[in-house]
Structure 1
């Protein structure tokens, strides 16, 4: 597959691309997802698996998507098609899931616009915030205002909430205006929309840390519970949070990279974006928990104490109940409330228009239709479909669909598929060489093995573990076994993620009028006579298939003794590892063009990684069921001790040193390239 050399719109500057990608990665989940998981799964101890996941999964997959997008200069569907025409559906799958997100993500931004409007009204009329209240009754007042007064929750098919429709229309207008002029304009807008929430977060953090009682909140946030590291669930949620936080597998990062200049860096940009995402999440946690600690102090002084653990929550509950209630206890509450919700809007708008741009680019690349026609139509369709989330049951729809799309059913499985396609069915060394040729620092072969083996095993384990949790839930998954009632929300969510691959395959079968006759991939031009490792690949495939059959027997057959079950489990692992080694050897020996490894070896590797994932998932499920799961962190001190301060210092040092090293490598690379460019210009 040759690089696409045709002219394509690109980012004005490298900084514009980095900020846009950071804006896409840094969203509302950084503010309400990461801090709550850190609090729930070991406090400061949670940072150990999270940082490991960032460097072992997050940044390597960012590099993978950047490399493919930059190499092909195409959005996700056409980019995968250029690895092989049969792979195009993988790109469409991510695009479709992204489109589902932009039907409900603007609704959350509409909530933020509404709450910021309430804060302005409080200032204008000189009245308390409508969700304000004291003590435990104040907490209930905040909950009632959001869930009952503002949302007026009801049946799944309840009437539209008119007070949300207008802010939703405003949100879509903002999204349209941000990207209607193309990525060059986006590259200018993000210079405002990305640094601004960082600045506001810094203000909120300083404000929170200087309030009386703030250290009590940080105890909940940073005080480590090292025993949580021995629990598999801690590692599961750490790796899951990293994957979901970086907007991986949606095609967003791949699409953004397709607009990069041909000589732009890839590896260093990915590291900067990963570290910036982590820094934003961590600082947001400091702002939130220090303010919650001050809230606890203020309510105790007033004689109606409310502890941090009584209000802390995840998701919309944190953003629209707990934190607004905490701000309402402070002097100048309305002004701080405006600042907070404006931060949410600026955080969310970047993620919103990045996903919209990836969907738009995919459609434009496929059809050749102009942006000025596709974008308004797509915005109207997204707005119309988003109306389901502004009904009385809208928040339930939003939560369920988001869980399916951003969970194991959606992007976790899609990320696994992405690694399998690019790691095993395509020559991953092509992308590694492409990234190294133009990056400030180079990738070793460890990256190829990470994409091919380590990350698929991790994602496969998370996916299978989550499937087990869903299908063994006490209340059932699609139908309650006790009452026989169907769960309409889960049925619709499962239907959406189930039909997405079907539509993706159909989309890939539509002929692309913009793709020229000479756009065949290298895989389309391979000579069957130069296929190597057929016998070894076939043997590895048989071993992997037998291993998979053992896992199926272990799962499906009841009344298997523990001893025989353990025997099957370990035998399946042995066969899977053997098949993985054999398929890897074949790929290493026969991947230099025009030679190529046999299809048996490629598929043996894919099946073997799933076999190993199944072994790990079954083992971890058994360990978890025996040990039990504790999601609430025990508070052991009233103030921060030495260990939390050390953790805080190490994390800040890691962020500062990591970003400084990345910027140093960027400046060094620019300094060495400048004389070369000057000589080239002189020769011309």
Structure 2
């Protein structure tokens, strides 16, 4: 790759450069760099890399978030918006991050040798990944809890407990039955104005749910209760699994719930064991964890398609409301799902790319992974809504009455649907094990991103990789304990809303500007061509998306989210306490502040006039170069001037 008469990444050994201190006469620096790279590790095969990327991109969000967002935002209209944003933002950014990691062989922090002023972006990615890893494993602990609960003779979310009737508990077989209020005497105890699911017949006799099936009660002066019934699966999740408190008051936090704490501990033990050798060990695990979910999804898809009423669910999922494409909220929802799904700007993609061989065809890999992400989301959508269609038909309600989002989909609506299938315990075990494996792949990437950043900044720590992994697992377990208290659901919501929402958009916008506007898109394109041997085609599509679409659209999305921000709510009309909102915004600032802080620090410590300082801190440093075993000696001044970016504004 040449500029003028100079080869930017000359493979030939240059003359001894004592002043630069980069290459010694005996080539000792080369040996040091190669030793460090060997200690750093590489993927055992191309498939380990691809499956790890698929596991990162295809996570819990594809199963519990994408289907509901599609239904809520116009069905196929949402899918179209999602595909357009994938084409303009998601795929280009995914490819960009893979190139950054593979070209340099560095993780999210050290890769910014390309633009030292932007190192704060890598720090932000590292911090976001750590915090998300902490609460993400809590959700995985939920899936383990349900996994073990599914092995009982009777699924525990199918029967109301006695103390739940006063809360409006109703089992799925009577979900369409209104409530009766009545007075009764049972075992010489007087129950006044009680309410339980019942059927009132002409003779004023009604039959209780299965728990009281041995009794017949006479309804006198029966009146229909107007309160909305509460599904037993929802009460099981809120009252038995997470034991959710009514408020987020500090004195209501309570101690960790021992059953969830044990599930959390088991989840962290599994994660640490799989990551104990870094990508060398996790790369072997993904052969199972990245493929098993597809097997289960396909089995559930076939089973769901055979249910009576499945077509009703499919119609709700795919029938487009074209007017929704004119609604900005639909595009915002699609963009949010795109970031959530592909995991761009979390650092994991850069980290995975950095363990690749230099000549790996990262272009084809990026295209394959982006397609797999979309296909998986669509398959999950059909799985969810064929099942919900059958469930709605069975209990005599509309599909929208059983469709929920987030926790509600994974731990309320779908468990209800599974309980209606023959051999429901088997389907429940498979489903929740699938959810756990989906989360496991993402958790690998989140924790490994943090560890890679530390090891890249301090190479001497690589010899203690296993100890660092165990140590971080222990620390993260204890940091996650507040998330498994009775108020833990609120804590997880705050961490997710403030930690992985505004912050990621801000980081993504800064990342695009730092790479494509400062380092320079033409310079970046030449790096790609040097690494692959050919430029990505079509060239101007990539340049247009990198330089114009991605930074501008992401910035607009960030501004829109800030302007349209509404406080988190515990329930209708009840907002989170002010102290909780404050903690959330502090968390957001904690993630975003490294970017301006590092830039200001670099600028202040640089020498010369302001413009010269700006050029100095945005110019690639001496250690930036290709990770192909060639000499990474400092570029001569003419070579620097031949490169594009802010260090040579005339070429911008």
Band of TM-score, shorter chain: 0.7 to 0.9
Asked if 2 retains the 8 angstrom alpha-carbon contact of 1:266 and 1:439, the reply is no
1:458-502 Cα deviation digits (max 9, x unpaired): 1011111110111xx3xx57999x999843332212111202244
> Structure 1's 595 and 360: CA in aligned 2 closer, same or farther, altered over 3 A?
closer
Asked if 2 retains the 8 angstrom alpha-carbon contact of 1:33 and 1:314, the reply is yes
Which of 515, 533, 548 in structure 2 is aligned with 1:453?
548
1:265-305 Cα deviation digits (max 9, x unpaired): 11110010011011111101101110011111221xxxxx2
Alpha-carbon distance between aligned partners in 2 of 1:43 and 1:399, rounded to the nearest angstrom: 26
Post-superposition shift, 1:417?
A: 0.6
Q: Which residue of 1 aligns with 2:402?
A: 311
Which of 165, 173, 182 in structure 2 is aligned with 1:134?
173
Which of 483, 500, 505 in structure 2 is aligned with 1:412?
505
Moved more, 95-104 or 333-342: 333-342
Post-superposition shift, 1:151?
A: 1.2
SS in 2 for 1:425: helix
Q: Which residue of 1 aligns with 2:560?
A: 465
> Structure 1's 599 and 224: CA in aligned 2 closer, same or farther, altered over 3 A?
same
- Whether 2:517 is the aligned partner of 1:424: answer yes
Cα root mean square deviation, aligned: 3.2
Alpha-carbon distance between aligned partners in 2 of 1:479 and 1:28, rounded to the nearest angstrom: 23
Alpha-carbon distance between aligned partners in 1 of 2:648 and 2:498, rounded to the nearest angstrom: 32
SS in 2 for 1:211: coil
Asked if 2 retains the 8 angstrom alpha-carbon contact of 1:67 and 1:431, the reply is no
1:77-128 Cα deviation digits (max 9, x unpaired): 0001x113222111111110010001100110110001111111236xx988
- Whether 2:524 is the aligned partner of 1:492: answer no
Post-superposition shift, 1:47?
A: 1.8
Post-superposition shift, 1:36?
A: 0.8
Alpha-carbon distance between aligned partners in 2 of 1:498 and 1:127, rounded to the nearest angstrom: 42
In the TM superposition, 1:594-613 aligns within 5 A as 594=643, 597=646
Post-superposition shift, 1:504?
A: 6.6
Structure 2 stretches lacking a partner, 5+ long = 1-7, 12-29, 161-170, 176-196, 198-228, 606-620, 627-631
Q: Which residue of 1 aligns with 2:610?
A: none
In the TM superposition, 1:438-587 aligns within 5 A as 438=532, 442-443=536-537, 444-470=539-565, 473=566, 486-502=577-593, 518-519=622-623
Asked if 1 retains the 8 angstrom alpha-carbon contact of 2:62 and 2:380, the reply is yes
Alpha-carbon distance between aligned partners in 2 of 1:233 and 1:190, rounded to the nearest angstrom: 36
Asked if 2 retains the 8 angstrom alpha-carbon contact of 1:139 and 1:311, the reply is no
Alpha-carbon distance between aligned partners in 2 of 1:216 and 1:500, rounded to the nearest angstrom: 44
Alpha-carbon distance between aligned partners in 2 of 1:435 and 1:135, rounded to the nearest angstrom: 61
Post-superposition shift, 1:330?
A: 2.3
- Whether 2:64 is the aligned partner of 1:25: answer no
Asked if 2 retains the 8 angstrom alpha-carbon contact of 1:180 and 1:372, the reply is yes
Q: Would you say how many aligned residue pairs link Structure 1 and Structure 2?
A: 524
Which of 468, 479, 486 in structure 2 is aligned with 1:392?
486
> Structure 1's 592 and 209: CA in aligned 2 closer, same or farther, altered over 3 A?
farther
> Structure 1's 598 and 17: CA in aligned 2 closer, same or farther, altered over 3 A?
closer
SS in 2 for 1:75: coil
Q: Which residue of 1 aligns with 2:132?
A: 101
Alpha-carbon distance between aligned partners in 2 of 1:484 and 1:333, rounded to the nearest angstrom: 38
> Structure 1's 128 and 258: CA in aligned 2 closer, same or farther, altered over 3 A?
closer
TM-score (norm 1): 0.71
Moved more, 65-74 or 51-60: 51-60
> Structure 1's 102 and 55: CA in aligned 2 closer, same or farther, altered over 3 A?
same
TM-score (norm 2): 0.75
> Structure 1's 325 and 97: CA in aligned 2 closer, same or farther, altered over 3 A?
same
- Whether 2:389 is the aligned partner of 1:296: answer no
1:504-561 Cα deviation digits (max 9, x unpaired): 77789899xxxxx952679997899x8xxxxxxxxxxxxxxxxxxxxxxxxxxxxxxx
> Structure 1's 601 and 150: CA in aligned 2 closer, same or farther, altered over 3 A?
farther
- Whether 2:100 is the aligned partner of 1:51: answer no
Q: Which residue of 2 aligns with 1:213?
A: 309
Asked if 1 retains the 8 angstrom alpha-carbon contact of 2:108 and 2:126, the reply is yes
Relative contact order, CA 8 A, sep 6+: which one is greater?
2
Alpha-carbon distance between aligned partners in 2 of 1:129 and 1:595, rounded to the nearest angstrom: 64
Alpha-carbon distance between aligned partners in 1 of 2:362 and 2:575, rounded to the nearest angstrom: 53
Post-superposition shift, 1:53?
A: 1.2
> Structure 1's 231 and 466: CA in aligned 2 closer, same or farther, altered over 3 A?
same
Alpha-carbon distance between aligned partners in 1 of 2:265 and 2:416, rounded to the nearest angstrom: 27
In the TM superposition, 1:240-251 aligns within 5 A as 240-251=336-347
Asked if 2 retains the 8 angstrom alpha-carbon contact of 1:16 and 1:190, the reply is yes
Q: Which residue of 2 aligns with 1:146?
A: 237
- Whether 2:482 is the aligned partner of 1:378: answer no
Which of 138, 146, 156 in structure 2 is aligned with 1:115?
146
SS in 2 for 1:122: coil
Post-superposition shift, 1:26?
A: 0.8
Between Structure 1 and Structure 2, which shows a larger proportion of strand residues? 2
Structure 1 stretches lacking a partner, 5+ long = 300-304, 512-516, 531-589, 606-684
Alpha-carbon distance between aligned partners in 2 of 1:489 and 1:359, rounded to the nearest angstrom: 26
Alpha-carbon distance between aligned partners in 2 of 1:74 and 1:319, rounded to the nearest angstrom: 36
Between Structure 1 and Structure 2, which shows a larger proportion of helix residues? 1
In the TM superposition, 1:329-408 aligns within 5 A as 329-368=420-459, 369=461, 370-407=464-501
Which of 411, 436, 439 in structure 2 is aligned with 1:320?
411
SS in 2 for 1:120: coil
Alpha-carbon distance between aligned partners in 1 of 2:234 and 2:390, rounded to the nearest angstrom: 19
Alpha-carbon distance between aligned partners in 2 of 1:386 and 1:127, rounded to the nearest angstrom: 26
1:165-209 Cα deviation digits (max 9, x unpaired): 000000000110111122122222111111100010000011000
Q: Which residue of 2 aligns with 1:682?
A: none
1:107-156 Cα deviation digits (max 9, x unpaired): 10110001111111236xx9885576423268521111111222111243
Alpha-carbon distance between aligned partners in 2 of 1:435 and 1:428, rounded to the nearest angstrom: 10
- Whether 2:632 is the aligned partner of 1:593: answer no
Alpha-carbon distance between aligned partners in 2 of 1:32 and 1:421, rounded to the nearest angstrom: 34
Post-superposition shift, 1:340?
A: 0.9
Q: Which residue of 2 aligns with 1:636?
A: none
